[in-house]
Structure 1
Amino acid sequence: MIHDSRVSLARSARLSATILLTAALAGCSVFSMFSGPSKPQPAELQPVTALVSARQSWVTRVGNINFPAEMGVSGSTVAVASGDGTVALLDAASGRDIWRVALNTGIAAGAGNDGKVVAVVTRANEVVALQDGRELWRQKLGAQAFTAPFVAGSRVFVLAADRSVNAFDGQTGRKLWTQQRPNEPLVLRQSGVMLAVGDTLVVGLSGRLAGLNPTNGSIRWEAPIASPRGINDVERLVDLVGRVSRQGDVVCARAFQTGIGCVNAARGAVLWTKPANGVQGIDGDDRALFGTEADGTVNAWKRTDGERLWSTDKLRFRSLTAPLVVGRSIAMGDFAGFIHLLSREDGSLLNRLPTDGSAIASSPVLVGNTLVVLTQNGGVYGFQPQ
């Protein structure tokens, strides 16, 4: 429970930008409950000496991004989608279109990509699957979705805002199964967690990671990373947010403004959890995890037990994305369209890459040797980092 009213108000103000009120299976609607205090001033950027090289190799465009976008990576390709319904599969080495489709309907979540099928979710709550530049099928969902579909094993999996997980045949769109969990009154309008670990579909459901049988949707295990606390629905909101860090069978994830933790996804066993106040996902390597707190402080934790390795406040209040491990750096975007490259060893600034000046709309991704970045104005940039 949060007793300090100032802390509670600040948390509620941050939540109001990303929470949706869910009406069971009927769908969701946006609400804003709090005006909140004035916004803190972002840290001023200091001059940087490039200690790692990174050059822009290409740029292309899709439409504006007005939803919690994700880029779908498979092999040498990256799938992107814009708010106006443009969906494109790009060659990440050159930035050239492999194909591009205009769906002429707004996009709410996407894009998932297995190298053949690309899937998105529309604002009309329809899952749409595309291949070779043509629409394969579309199916209606019972609620909105804000997490990109996960495409794997000739199936398309969709995590909806009513805590349901739906599986569709990748070629026909036939619904294979639905797993419905108890629904909370509030969910985040933010990308959640879905990935495969061996033959298990791992999904974030409220504050838990759950392991599902991808064939029939049965639950194999559940592992809590955070539990609801507080006296009202806002304070009790717990949700896992993407991205996550996977090393072998171990998946580490963040619970929104609550904590981080690691789970052995082969056994469904929680290895450790630690309090943390971030709103974006995490990434890591075999030694450390990296993430940002809600105030923009960047932290590194030991992967084995969650103990703090280092922390830096040079990017406070710059609305950072989730980080991405790239070589000896971690990359993260900010509200002004910069990609910051920080040292994995101590958090020192190694380079800063400009884009088009609009906010970075999705966590950066690495496709082969190309760092791909998506901006709110629809710029898609490819960089070649050291």
Structure 2
Amino acid sequence: MNATVRQGVPPRPARGAWWMIGVAALALAACSSGPKKPQPTPLEPVTALLPVQQAWTQSIGAVDPLLVPVVRGDAIALASAAGAVVVLDGASGRVRWRAEAGAPMAAGVGFDGQRVALVTRDNDLTVLTERGVAWRQRLASRPFTPPFVAGERVFVLGGDRSVIAFDARDGRRLWSQSSRGTEPLVLQQPGVLGAVGNTLIAGIGGRLVGLDPDSGRVLWDAVVGRSRGANEIERLVDLVGRVGRDGDVVCVRAFQSAVGCVDAVRGRTLWTQSADGVSGVQADAERVYGTESNGRVVAWRRTDGERAWTNERLLHRGVTAPLVLGRSLAVGDAQGHVHVLARADGAFLNRLATDGSPIVDGPLLVGNTLVAVTRNGGVYAWRPQ
């Protein structure tokens, strides 16, 4: 787990930076003296019950885990850790346009089909078009969640759990909404920021919050995960991307705490279930799908959260968030495989190989093309035969 001190929260007496160093030292000591990390479960042979063929490949350079790719329409936007932004055509893999941010990147990308938004390691929110850098704005706190670009606005979820809106055309700051939480730590991985209809949704700690995108006014606040534990690290709770959606129902995961669904019109939590996972979920009208920390793939009933099925044949393989793909489900792993499972019962339908480096975030769907991006910068695309 990676956590960071929340900016803007003063350190407690006799703690500060040395306290964080002590936590890191204790973690390292535990890793060195504790039990060895479990070995990945060996892969079993898989009969390709859902045949696919490789459509195209691309290479964009090494990708940081925070640089989550994003799909809009028939295009996919990606960013390399070195600062290159590439927009690819989903059908052919052709480069539609390329731009340079001018600095290494820390979080991104957001994409509305025309503009790409990201955050550099200098904490600059940077918006690019095919003509290059359109504008920059310095941020007070470092985001770990990709910016969200929609409705001629760029929305940012800061590391201090504030939400800020900028005019997408010129970078003018429109409004900001500060978190009323007091937790001193935040999770260093992409969180929840998006939209349902005309409501902006953001993960603030263990809560899913609905905001008016025009003013930042809080419309509703629904609890999914609650802080628990004896110390600040154990009490850390944040919602993590991806988000599952079925109409107006949004389903999310609270880090190592719970999975739950929220009615995004009424702002009401429909159900939550305890779940030990670190990556987001997907949903359809029947089930919510996710992966647990140990690699177990789980499906919960969408109506009440009861378990529908589990698949334990990918234990300890560093399995990613899932992707709903027709009647199937795709997950990546840390060895560069994409596993295709049946949505009905979790049975294996196919297995696809890449360059052997971990799949970033999880597979994506661009039109009718399944796409996976690896940490080494390989972009692989497949289609059903």
TM-score in terms of structure 1 length: 0.93
1:356 equivalent to 2:355? Answer yes
Q: Post-superposition shift, 1:238? A: 0.4
Q: Determine the structure 2 residue equivalent to 1:301.
A: 300
Superposed, 1:339-350 pairs within 5 Å as 339-350=338-349
Contact 1:68-1:191 at 8 Å conserved across structures:
yes
Unaligned runs of 5+ in 2: 11-15
Q: Which runs of 4+ in 1 moved over 6 A?
A: 28-31
CA distance in 1, matches of 2:67, 2:41: 25
Q: Determine the structure 2 residue equivalent to 1:67.
A: 65
* Deviations, residues 204-258 of structure 1 (Å, cap 9, x unaligned): 0000000001011111110000110111001100000000111111100000000
CA distance in 2, matches of 1:294, 1:323: 13
Residue 250 of structure 1 aligns with an amino acid whose one-letter code is: V
Contact 1:320-1:335 at 8 Å conserved across structures:
yes
Count of aligned pairs: 369
* Deviations, residues 294-342 of structure 1 (Å, cap 9, x unaligned): 1111111000000000111100011111000111111111011000001
The correspondence for 2:8, drawn from 20, 24, 31, is 24
Cα separation, partners in 2 of 1:183 and 1:72, compared to 1, 3 Å: farther
Which range is displaced more, 306-315 or 362-371? 362-371
1:331 equivalent to 2:330? Answer yes
Residue 286 of structure 1 aligns with an amino acid whose one-letter code is: A
CA distance in 1, matches of 2:193, 2:384: 28
Contact 1:25-1:143 at 8 Å conserved across structures:
no
Q: Determine the structure 2 residue equivalent to 1:367.
A: 366
Superposed, 1:49-60 pairs within 5 Å as 49-60=47-58
SS of match in other structure, 2:27: coil
CA distance in 2, matches of 1:199, 1:171: 20
Contact 1:279-1:294 at 8 Å conserved across structures:
yes
Residue 158 of structure 1 aligns with an amino acid whose one-letter code is: V
Q: Post-superposition shift, 1:162? A: 0.6
Residue 340 of structure 2 aligns with an amino acid whose one-letter code is: L
Q: Post-superposition shift, 1:19? A: 1.7
Which range is displaced more, 217-226 or 97-106? 97-106
Residue 346 of structure 2 aligns with an amino acid whose one-letter code is: G
Q: Determine the structure 1 residue equivalent to 2:13.
A: none
CA distance in 2, matches of 1:177, 1:364: 34
1:197 equivalent to 2:196? Answer yes
Unaligned runs of 5+ in 1: 1-14
CA distance in 1, matches of 2:54, 2:341: 18
Contact 2:99-2:130 at 8 Å conserved across structures:
no
* Deviations, residues 267-317 of structure 1 (Å, cap 9, x unaligned): 100111110001110112110111111111111100000000011110001
* Deviations, residues 102-159 of structure 1 (Å, cap 9, x unaligned): 2231111111111111111111111111112411101011111111110000000011
Root-mean-square deviation (CA), in Å? 1.6
SS of match in other structure, 1:34: helix
Q: Determine the structure 1 residue equivalent to 2:253.
A: 254
Contact 2:101-2:128 at 8 Å conserved across structures:
no
Contact 1:337-1:358 at 8 Å conserved across structures:
yes
* Deviations, residues 315-372 of structure 1 (Å, cap 9, x unaligned): 0011111000111111111011000001111111110000011111222111110111
* Deviations, residues 37-85 of structure 1 (Å, cap 9, x unaligned): 3211110011111010121111111121123221121111110011110
SS of match in other structure, 1:142: coil
CA distance in 2, matches of 1:231, 1:385: 50
Q: Determine the structure 1 residue equivalent to 2:98.
A: 100
Superposed, 1:1-386 pairs within 5 Å as 15=1, 18-24=2-8, 32=24, 33-35=26-28, 36=31, 37=34, 38-181=36-179, 182-385=181-384
